[in-house]
Structure 1
């Protein structure tokens, strides 16, 4: 049977409740600087030149998951919904959750004309299991092609929770091309061949364009082109939005509450999903170096942060509280552990507790006001992407807050490519980023991505996406146990979720900041079909894959 998601609770703040009835034209305020009426211009927050690489499994891929390379199904991770078929038609577990049978569609083709078959699925899954750097879902199954349209995936133990990950977060690639890749985890893909609704049209370092796939099995999309811009940062994004040069961006703009007034023809929607945190290279056993490898330092930072101030200064009060156990306080409220010391991180700083934690761990304040231990001052660098003005403001504010308790943190702005490479290789002390959600509305997936041993690596090797280098037997055992419990059995699942959350709170490899209110501004005058509070069919973030591709497929030019 199809896996049913638990009813989720999502708090939305939508700006601009009145539909704009004006039609888009090829030249005008909302025409995206002369872009055709069926061309969607998007800004993902990219700062600096794009690097040509459409390998969907690379942490530095520019694009592809969902648009060029597809999963078998789409799972909505913000509300209760049946999985929507993509390359698959249906799936079913056996009685004990050890065998997953998948029926594939028989009319899909690769963009070079070759037919998509079960052999491509088996090849992709085998490739993932043989390359840890590509295996960001921790997949451990064994796939067999029964015939061209049927695949069986076997697991050594019950693995109910694997379905949304295997079926919704692994991007199918063509066997006839990828079997020649010597190192598929790092191979640069310049000419991507996929089954998806879009193909690469043209690529330049400042912008690239996808074009609709005329042979797409579900019919050619109404949005004929998607153009991705690289700008200098959030301010440039807001300026481009003001000038009507961008149709969709996910990120902050000044005075977010009055988007419709300040950006005529545009509307906004805010969804609390991603969890902003200070990532730490936390595990000395895997090669991390620096004061942040001490859990006491991480906990002291946690207590010293004034989250109310950070929310006001950096996020225009669009963020909300975050749980130190990293279950979403609202969507996952029934699963937030009662065993946590604090169900949500304190919004006001507790400087006395931060000092107590440090001094209890053997740190002493030096004459310069900075704590030190064994002659090493408590000083770290926090990496942030140049142009990400909200995060830059956040780390600058946090730096001042930590100074008050004797911790020195210095922001370091990098290009996105440099920042991403440092994050993947663990070559950082602190950096600011967000933990993302999995394919279904449950915290298990965030845990399995960011806190499990199979998704990390030694410093210098690419981790994907356990960037903090977490490796904890109790967490691993609890995640393994969760895989074997049916999704609907909340009572049996909760003790394992309690274990994960309490260990995550104790270790604190990702220092929780706030649940980010992910806000998108979109051109409602030029396109119809956007997600709304009443029809949240996909998480509306242009950088969220494959969620963005579901939105591309729903949009239609308003002039039609």
Structure 2
């Protein structure tokens, strides 16, 4: 599964890009006006540098596939509450005690080689995920059986209501007749993906790859005939491509974000606060993490040393919003925000006295250079960030200046996305900047189960997915287990378990809260219609968010088409 922080970023000018894309028939004319009969959607995910082929939907480094090629059973909208949209499933129900989930499958879906999709494929996929912890990013532990060709029963040892949206919405169905021959499903890059989805791979090159509409798709061939993913060099390159009209959708910052329609004629922008920006730390010495960042006092000192008002203004054009140290979303999850938190919301201004008191209480002493140290090792950290993620780079550079006041040295270390992603997965880092993403339903349980559960982490050197902070805590695990048994509608029953998680998370602070990011996308409204809006937020509008992006691809129509 993953939505793994797919917030790719970058920077550089795109000199010859407009010519190259126009020659390939993939661009729109300058200013965003649509090309004649052009049904190719050109997207930029923030990929800086060549793509490395990987269409394995379960891999943390997949470049695409979930939702577009490989479908879930249902689409759950994490941005808004509401009924899930059928994909490969048509209906589902729980038994009275929440231990058996029955799913009805559609009878008109086929794999792109013409083989019929059946319940056997679902059972095979679920069994494979359960047997391979590396690809089991949802913590699935059920037992599936095919009742008939179009009905699956999934049994759990205990009530498992919270697993429902994950099993139904975040496990990507794969064909048994192909994947049963794959020796290592966790690491195979699936260079020739076969799915049931609305798109299929047409061409792969390092600088760009293209998905084409699936002509036999069960829901009809999409109106968008091609989706072309281009690799640029970052945020500035994306802004330049928007100005040239050579990309149709990107998720990332542009200068003067409030005036996109004036600065980029034909384009519109939308910003949705959902992803929680944090300094990820390899936090757990018991799992092999080393360095001063394994001390909670250090992490809390950094938390109090930030000037979030300044960070928001300088790095995020004031599009970000407050964040809770317990990581419940301040607005969406207000009913679950714990009263037991010392700070319900992270302070927007720094508290230098509190930060330095934490460090000195933990045995650190300030050296002659103004940097605290302990056992001869200074509080100096390199923080990894992909080259070209200009907003995050600005945030880190600003933090580096801010934290001098509390005697902490923070140095921004720009690396390739591949290097950053590998370090994050294996735990071979001290700190990096990233975002915690939400789950399939508009509920905080899923984010906690992804990033704070023992089930999703691993020892340093092994791949975590996506428990990158190496959190393993019995209080959190116990509360997650209790939440799993409760119906999502049982607000009162769930509240004390969420409080236990939030208070423990704030105490451990393995991910140091920065701000809730206002995820902003710029899209070509002159070339395509059907984009999500604030009034009709039918999917989370981020080009890197899977499977939401596929739901948007399915909904778009070339401007002027029926």
Same fold (TM over 0.5): yes
Match of 1:520 in 2: 521
CA distance, structure 2, for counterparts of residue 328 and residue 66 of structure 1: 25
Counterpart-to-counterpart distance in 2, 1:46 and 1:438: 23
Which residue of structure 1 lines up, in the alignment, with residue 91 of structure 2? 90
1:470 aligns with 2:474: no
> SS of the residue aligned with 1:46?
coil
Distance in 2 of aligned mates of 1:35 and 1:361: 66
DSSP-derived class of the 1:143 partner: strand
Secondary structure of 2:472's match? coil
TM-score, normalised to structure 2's length? 0.94
Q: CA deviation at 1:35?
A: 8.9
Distance in structure 1 (CA, Å) of the matches to 2:357 and 2:380: 18
Mapped pair 1:213 → 2:214:
yes
Specify the SS of the correspondent of 2:392. helix
Aligned to 2:542: 541
How much has 1:409 moved relative to structure 2?
A: 1.3
**What residue in structure 2 maps to residue 201 of structure 1?**
202
Q: CA deviation at 1:28?
A: 2.5
Question: Cα RMSD between the aligned structures?
Answer: 1.4
User: Do the aligned partners of 2:32 and 2:265 also contact (CA within 8 Å) in 1?
Assistant: no
**Are the equivalent residues in 2 in contact too, given 1:30–1:525 (CA < 8 A)?**
no
For the residue of structure 2 that corresponds to 1:209, the secondary structure is strand
Question: How do 1:163-242 and structure 2 match up within 5 A?
Answer: 163-242=164-243
1:459 maps onto 2:460 in alignment: yes
| Distance of aligned partners of 1:324 and 1:80 in 2 relative to their CA distance in 1, 3 Å threshold | same
Query: Are residue 366 (structure 1) and residue 381 (structure 2) matched?
Result: no
Which residue number in structure 2 is paired with residue 15 of structure 1?
Answer: none
Deviation of 1:380 after TM superposition, in Å, equals: 1.1
Q: What residue in structure 2 maps to residue 119 of structure 1? A: 120
* Bigger mean CA offset, 202-211 vs 26-35: 26-35
Structure 1: unaligned runs, 5 residues or longer: 1-24
Within 5 Å, give how 1:403-442 maps onto structure 2. 403-442=404-443
Asked if 1 retains the 8 angstrom alpha-carbon contact of 2:32 and 2:264, the reply is no
Residue 559 of structure 2 corresponds to 558
Residue equivalent to 2:17: none
- How far the C-alpha of 1:31 sits from its partner, in A, is 5.8
Aligned to 1:12: none
1:343-365 CA deviation, whole Å, 9 max, x = no partner? 11000000110000000010000
Match of 1:448 in 2: 449
Q: Distance in 2 between matches of 1:430 and 1:270?
A: 27
**1:64-79 → structure 2 map (5 Å cutoff):** 64-79=65-80
Q: CA deviation at 1:36?
A: 5.8
Structure 1 pair 97/186, CA: closer, same or farther in 2 (3 Å)? same
The answer to whether the 8 Å contact 1:31/1:37 transfers is no
* Deviations 1:357-397, CA, capped at 9 Å, x for gaps: 00001000011111011111111110000010000000111
Displacement of 1:26: 7.9
1:424–1:465 CA contact under 8 A, matched in 2: yes
Describe the superposition over 1:183-234 as per-residue Cα deviations: whole angstroms up to 9, x where unpaired.
1101111000000000001011011000000000000000000000111110
Q: What's the secondary structure of 1:431's corresponding residue?
A: strand
Residue in structure 2 matched with residue 3 of structure 1 by the alignment: none
The whole-number CA distance in structure 1 between the counterparts of 2:43 and 2:268 is 15
| SS in structure 2 at match of 1:404 | helix
- Taking the aligned partners of 2:173 and 2:198, their CA distance within structure 1 comes to 13
Q: Does 1:41 align with 2:42?
A: yes
Alignment of 1:320 onto 2:317:
no
The answer to whether the Cα contact below 8 Å between 2:303 and 2:513 also exists between their aligned partners in 1 is: yes
* Contact persistence 2:384–2:432 (CA under 8 A): yes
**What CA distance in whole angstroms lies between the structure 1 residues aligned with 2:136 and 2:119?**
20
Structure 2 Cα separation of the partners of residues 381 and 474 of structure 1 = 31
The equivalent residue for 1:346 is 347
In the TM superposition, residue 96 of structure 1 has moved relative to its aligned partner by 0.4
Q: Where do 1:489-504 residues align within 5 Å?
A: 489-504=490-505
Rounded Cα–Cα distance in structure 2 between residues aligned with 1:371 and 1:119: 59
Change (3 A) 1:447 1:337: same
1:402 corresponds to: 403
Q: Provide the secondary structure at the position in 1 that maps to 2:335.
A: coil
Q: CA deviation at 1:559?
A: 2.7
| 5+ residue gaps, structure 2 | 1-25
Matched, 1:505 2:497: no
Aligned position for 2:296: 295
Question: Which whole-Å deviations, capped at 9, do the CAs of 1:437-467 have from their partners, x for residues lacking one?
Answer: 0010110000000000000011111100010
- Measure the CA separation in 2 of the matches of 1:485 and 1:145: 26
CA distances 1:100-156 after superposition (whole Å, capped 9, x unpaired): 000000110001111111111111111111111101111111111111101000111
Q: 2: distance between equivalents of 1:44 and 1:132?
A: 28
Q: In 2 relative to 1, CA 26–456 (structure 1 residues): closer, same or farther, beyond 3 Å?
A: closer
Q: Which residue of 1 aligns with 2:274?
A: 273
Query: Residue 267 of structure 1: CA displacement?
Result: 0.4
1:487 Cα offset (Å): 1.1
Name the SS for the 1:413 alignment partner: strand
Q: Using a 3 Å threshold, how does the CA distance of structure 1 residues 33 and 45 change in structure 2: closer, same or farther?
A: farther
In the alignment, the residues of structure 1 paired with residue 79 and residue 210 of structure 2 have an alpha-carbon distance, to the nearest angstrom, of: 28
- SS of 2:191's equivalent in the other structure is coil
Q: 1:363–1:554: structure 2 CA closer, same or farther, 3 Å change rule?
A: same
Distance in 2, Cα, partners of 1:36 & 1:292: 55
CA distance in 2, matches of 1:35, 1:139: 47
Q: Deviations over 1:404-448 (max 9, x none)?
A: 211111111011111101100001000000000001011000000
Contact 1:280 1:292 in 2 (8 A): yes
TM-score normalised to the size of structure 1?
A: 0.94
2:108–2:218 contact (8 Å) kept in structure 1: yes
2:358 aligned counterpart, secondary structure: helix
Question: Partner of 2:216: helix, strand, or coil?
Answer: coil
Equivalenced residue count is: 537
Q: Match of 1:389?
A: 390
Superposed counterparts of 1:149-164, under 5 Å: 149-164=150-165
Distance in 2 between residues matched to 1:35 and 1:514, nearest whole Å: 42
CA distance in 1, matches of 2:531, 2:247: 15
